[in-house]
Structures are given as C-alpha cells and as structure tokens.
A and B are shown apart, each in its own frame.
Chain A
C-alpha cells in the first residue's frame, strides 16, 4: 500500500477536459516528480490533492483510507501541504504573521503573542535551515524568491506528511535552489512524501526516485528516475500528434527587416534579446511557462518598460505606451492574452469593437461617416468569416472562436503590418484554429510580419518559419527549417542552465 493512490481521476470544466484518467501512486519517504507539458493536467491534479477543487470521477486514497477533502483546510488537516506558483501570502502582513495566520499564539485577552510568534518563526527557520527573510518584514516588500521561501516555510510550519512543490525552484536563485533540493531529500529521509513538479530535468534526476508523466490529462507512465533516459521522458511528454490542422508552410519571408531588436531587456525577467523579424515571416516564440515570452510581447506593445533598441521597418523607435506601438501602417498590433478582458468590449457590438481603434479612418471634419464605417466592417466580417447575425450583435454573445476573429479584424483594421499574436488559439475549437493558422499564412504572404506565441507547442512547430526559444529570460536558440521540432524546442527550453 502506498501513501497516495489516485486512480482514474477526472476533472471537467464545462466542455473542457482538464483531466481524463490520471493515475498516481507515491509512497512515504520518496521524492516523486510530476512532469508534463503546460496544460497536461499537473496543476489540476495537485489542486485536487490540496482540496482546492473537487474531481468529477476516480478514487483517491491517502494511507489506505478514502480521501475526499471538502476544502483546502480539510486537506491541511489530513497532512497535505501545497506550495503553489500562485502565491497565497497576504502582502500587508509580516513574514511571521503570514506563516501563523489564523493559528497565532494568543494571550488571555485574545491578542497575538508577538514575541512567541516571532520565536516560533525563528525556530522553524532554524529547524529546516530556511534562508528566509527576517520574521518582522512585511511580505509586500519581499522579492519573488523571498516570498516563495516564506510560502514554503508556511507549508512546513504545519508539519505535513505530504508536501507538494509546484515549480517552486522557478523563482529561486541558485543558492536557495540548492537549499530546497537538499530539503526535499531530507524530508523524504524523514519519511515524508515530497511531490515535486519541475521542468528542470537535472533537478529531478538529482532528487527524485520516481517520475510520473502526464500528457493531455492522463498518466502516460511512471518511471524509476535512475532507470530512464531523458529521451524517453521527453517522448512520453510529447506523444504522437496529428498535424492535419496546419496549412502548408510556404516560405514568404523577404530580406526586409520588419522588426529589429537589440539587447531588449525587461526588468530581470527578460535579458538581452537580439531578434530580426522579416517581412512575410511567421516567427514562433517558445519556452516553458514564465521564461520571458509574456514580457517580450508586453515590451513590444508598450505595456512593460523595456531597455535596449527597437527598430520598426528600419527606423529606431521608443515604445513607451500602446499608443506608441499602434500607429498606422508602420505600427505594431497585438492580439492579447486574455481576450475577454483585454481584447474585447463584451457589452459593445461587433461593429463598435472592430472600429474602436480606428475611428479616424472614417471620420471627416470630426464627424463619423457611417457609410465608410459600414464598408470597413462588412469587409472584415466577410474576409474573416465572422459568424455574427448582424454587425450590431453584442461581442459577448459570440463563440470564443468568433470573438477571437473580431479581435483579428480589429487588429487588421489598424493597418499595422507587424502583428504580435499571444496565444491566439487558446480555448478555441479546432476548426477555427485551422482558419486562424491559414489566415496567418495568408497575411505573411501579403507581407505582414508575425510574431507568434502559443501555449500549445505543436502549433508553433507547424506554423512558424523560425522559432526563437527563450530560457530564463534569455534567447536560448533560434531554430529554422528541419531543426524545428517539439523535441528540439523542449530540449533548448529545458536544458539545465542553472548557474553553478
């Protein structure tokens, strides 16, 4: 009997299946790694373990007994503590107040015994050698890495028998990473179970006895880490996929550079990116979640402050706000990450959404010209095949795919010929996905330059002419031609770059 036995766990959100048949077995006294691509269902699974969401099916046993936590507190009471990427700390409380929140030592008049709380915090730090900031510091003043460590300390303070670390090292600098790897091994040696989620194969090899791999919401395999090679692990993560979805890739890139980046940096998330995007080219941007893709797109659209040089069609530009990026035929247009809150005004009509950014194109002497507006709107509805009853239908009532087409139409109407597409097919049905890929290739053939990120790696592999792979905010490789494969991209994105 193993400590955790999960069999056939499934979870659906409406029509979307996050987990279909996840099996997971892990025993006390081991570090057990959980691996899978973005969206493979790892997060859903550990949220089920941590009592945050409830599964639709399957059985779950903890130490031989049926385990169905009603909420996060029930999971904690059962001895399961999870450290998530989305941090749960309260910014305006101190480190000590956060660790013991709602479990504070109280005096007879009901006030918190601050000194005892502080001492307990220091004792905790001491016991696990936690490289944590001073207990009296406020969390909102801490760096991301420090917060991550406080989060781990909070989990340890409950003395759990199962501790789940979700990409905990992704925010940590090398010294703290070493500490966490050592700690995981120590906890396992004490007889606890550590479930360790990471994309860093080297870390997994260093500390995990077994590795379970998820793909598309299902368990593919569980291996002894010592007995399996990297190639098998990566192959298990990728599986085989069909590729009829994708239009033929005909090179249409010219010698003209549409967008030239030199030494582009954003905070400490993106460093020294040199990139040349050609006219008529679709360039994919790939990398594991949180390695700088979002920052790159935000910098180009003027949402994040960046350093370094940007040239658009040969002219140096400074992009400080979206207005700087948008302007006219020489501008840059973005399909944003979250279409419902950033891309569309859901309570406005399709017509208004399409023409919002381009009102000057059909105004004369400050007055709107309805006929010109109508002509522009009809043209977009036709070319994009947007399925709306009338142009006055509210955007919020359209399907996800048609909403995304409206955003494309809005972007095309700006006449910008550099397009930034950030995950444009997320949550969209397969048919519309195909239409969007064909549209991308058509636009490239017309001389548009397209920078394209997708959370679904095969899309990048099958649509992009070249692929820029980011790792830890740096450009790890630019792949082209036959070098573009999921395998190669994953290797470039994952090969350990941990500073020695």
Chain B
C-alpha cells in the first residue's frame, strides 16, 4: 500500500474552506458579545436623543462611577463563572466591606490605607474559604456561597445595624477626583481592562478557562483543581471587597444590606456580555459591556421619569435576549458542524 499525500491544489482549496468556516464560527462564537454591544449602542442612542450632553466626557465619568461598583463585583464573578462556578457570597462581602470601612477607618491616611488593605485581604481570605469548602467537602458552589452570603450579611448587621458610620472626607474626595477631565472611575476602568488583558493571557487564566471547560481533561493534564478553586473564589472575594471600598467613596456610609443589590446583577452583567454559565467561555470585556447596559437602563428609567420599578423589568428582558442569543448561536454552530 502506498502513502497518498494530499495534492497541493486540494489543500489550498481546503484551506480556503477552513478560513471561511473560521470566520463564520468566529462570528457565531462571539454572537452574544456582539449582540450585547449592539444593545448597548441602541440604548446609548436612545438615551442620547432623550437628554442633552450624553456624548461628553462628563457623562462618561458619571456613568462609569455609577457602574464601577457593579463592574468590580462582576470582575470577580466573571473569573468564577469562567471556572464553571458561581459566587453569591459577594453580596455579603460588599455589605461587610462597607460596614467595616465606615466603622474601622480612622482619621489619618495611614490608618485608612491599612484598614482598606485589611478589608481587601479579608475579602480574599473569605473567598479562599469558599473555595476550600467547595473543593474539600465537594459541595455545590451555589449552596456554599449562599450560606456564606447569609453569614456575612448577618455579621455586617451585627457590626452596624443601620446605615451610617463615618468616612474621612479625603476618602470620598477620591471618588470624585479627576485628572485632566478624566475621573478616578474612568482611570479604574482602564486599570481593570489592563488587568484583564494581562490576566487572561497568563497560565493561570488559561487553567481557569480549561477547568471551567472540562474539569476532567484539565485534571488529567495536571491542573490542581483545589488551587484553581482557592484562587478563583479568593479573587472573587477580593474584587467584592474592592467593590465595597469603591462604593463607600460614592455613598460615604456603611450599609449592612446594600450588597444584595449586586449579587444577581453581577451574574447578569457577565451573562449579557456572553459568559457561559457552564464555564470556559467569554471574557471581561463582555462583562463591562453588560454592566454598562444595566447602568444605562437605570439612567433611561430616570430620564423617562417612569416608576423605577421598570428598571428590573427591562433588565430582565435584556437578560432573556442575551441568553436566547447565545443559545441560538450554539445551536446553529452545532447544526453547521453535523
């Protein structure tokens, strides 16, 4: 029997076919993300016709400040979702973070910096505990983080039963500071994007995606699932703590119940931006788009001066569209393969 090699003409034709297929799968894979971008564009356009001065730096600064707490919370959530998990405890961590900031921050900048660092580390440590419970006891992430959410919320209420506490003026000034017309929130957004571009390219970033995609394969290739769980939930807790710290620069108070407002929106922002709840697929840029969609909906409801209860209704509809889009894209991809 002789070896038959593909003739050159044939392989060129094959390569062209591959390229066309690559382009179409590229589109299908990113369909949820592209649809999210489209929806954001439409919402911004509507917003722009309803109000003057939407397309200014000032508006960008304001909207970014409004979205930043959610963005930080959703960054952690994105990392956990990519691993194929979910973190509900961020709600408790955000409440606890604001309460601790409002009660433990002293007057001097050094004390404040120390306390802020401690709160961030506490967030990481609590996340690591979540990861430990999930790995070692082999419990469902949903239930473990639901339980820790409850524990953290109760703790926050014990420390500060009602909204209040004190934050130094310079701390709140940070939230409103700007440099050459660019606010601190936009600066943070740029940092967040840079962080993500770096993080997704690291070996850890790839291992997280691989574990979310197929845990068994990742494990066979030598990935330690325990380490991945500790780090993903740890990072989620850390980002929740950062979200809490940022929130206090905006509100100026500690609030023991505010965290619950960020749990489901953090998941929604990620899913609207194209992250699969089954793990492995999607990225932070989509989550940013998703978070801005949710924020602009809030603005629209305000500008239209309709009842604020419309905000969750519209958010829900957008979420449904996003989920439908990704499911349709997946089905069409499967059909084109078989």
Contact = CB atoms under 8 A, between A and B. Distances in A.
A102 B207 contact: yes
Interface string B202-233: 11001101101110011011110000000000
Interface in A63-92: 72-73, 87-92
B281 A92 contact: yes
B221 to A, nearest CB: 5
A91 B216 CA distance: 11
A137 interface: yes
Interface string B1-38: 10111100000000000100010010001000000000
A206 interface: yes
B213 A101 contact: no
Interface in B98-121: none
Given A131-B6, A175-B4, A92 B212 contact: yes
Given A101-B210, A141-B337, A112 B18 contact: no
Given A101-B210, A112-B203, A72 B281 contact: no
A133 interface: yes
Question: When A and B form their complex, which 8 residue pairs have the shortest distance between CB atoms, in order from nearest?
Answer: A111-B201, A92-B213, A92-B280, A90-B210, A90-B217, A90-B213, A182-B3, A110-B202
B208 to A, nearest CB: 11
A109 B198 contact: yes
A274 interface: no
15 contacts: A87-B217, A90-B213, A90-B217, A90-B221, A91-B214, A91-B280, A92-B212, A102-B203, A112-B206, A114-B201, A137-B22, A138-B25, A141-B333, A175-B4, A182-B3
Contact of B217 (A88, A111, A141): A88
B218 A90 contact: yes
A445 interface: no
B338 interface: yes
Interface in A115-135: 129, 131, 133-134
Contacts of A73: 222
A111 B202 CA distance: 4
A89 B217 contact: yes
Contact of A93 (B22, B25, B202, B213): B213
Contacts of B337: 141, 143
A97 interface: yes
Contacts of B221: 88, 90, 101-102
B6 A175 contact: yes
A92 B210 contact: yes
Contacts of B280: 90-92
A87 B221 CA distance: 12
Contacts of B222: 72-73, 102
Contacts of B203: 102, 104, 106, 110, 112
Nearest to B29: A138
Interface residues of B, number: 31
Given A92-B281, A104-B206, A178-B3, 8 more contacts: A90-B213, A90-B280, A91-B213, A93-B209, A101-B210, A102-B207, A114-B201, A175-B6
Interface of A: 72-73, 87-93, 97, 101-102, 104, 106, 109-112, 114, 129, 131, 133-134, 136-138, 140-141, 143, 175, 178-179, 182, 206, 267
A112 B22 CA distance: 22
Nearest to A136: B22
Nearest to B207: A102
A133 B220 CA distance: 23
Contacts of A104: 203, 206
A411 B25 CA distance: 44
A206 B1 CA distance: 8
A179 B5 CA distance: 8
Contacts of B201: 111-112, 114
Contacts of A182: 3
Interface string B256-271: 0000000000000000
A154 to B, nearest CB: 9
Contacts of A175: 4, 6
Contacts of B4: 175, 178
Nearest to B197: A111
B210 A93 contact: yes
A129 B212 CA distance: 32
B173 to A, nearest CB: 33
Nearest to A112: B201
Nearest to B218: A90
Nearest to B5: A129
A102 B198 CA distance: 17
Contacts of A129: 5
A112 B207 CA distance: 12
B14 to A, nearest CB: 10
Contacts of B217: 87-90
Contacts of A87: 217
B20 to A, nearest CB: 12
Nearest to A133: B18
B338 A93 contact: no
B274 to A, nearest CB: 13
A418 B333 CA distance: 37
A104 B213 CA distance: 18
A87 B214 CA distance: 11
A138 to B, nearest CB: 7
A106 B212 CA distance: 22
Contact of B198 (A93, A111, A179, A267): A111
A134 B18 contact: yes
A93 B6 contact: no
Contact of A102 (B29, B214, B223, B281): B223
Nearest to A203: B1
B95 to A, nearest CB: 34
Most chain A CB within a 10 A radius of its CB, from B221, B281, B333: B221
Nearest to B209: A92
A330 to B, nearest CB: 32
A90 B3 contact: no
A387 B202 CA distance: 58
A443 to B, nearest CB: 37
A355 B281 CA distance: 43
A137 B221 CA distance: 20
A168 B202 CA distance: 32
Contacts of A141: 25, 333, 337
Contacts of A137: 18, 22, 25
B18 to A, nearest CB: 6
Contacts of A138: 25, 29
A179 B18 CA distance: 20
B22 A134 contact: yes
A199 B161 CA distance: 72
Nearest to A89: B217
Interface string B136-153: 000000000000000000
A90 B214 contact: yes
Contacts of A92: 209-210, 212-214, 280-281
Interface string B323-338: 0000000000100011
A92 B274 CA distance: 14
Nearest to A107: B201
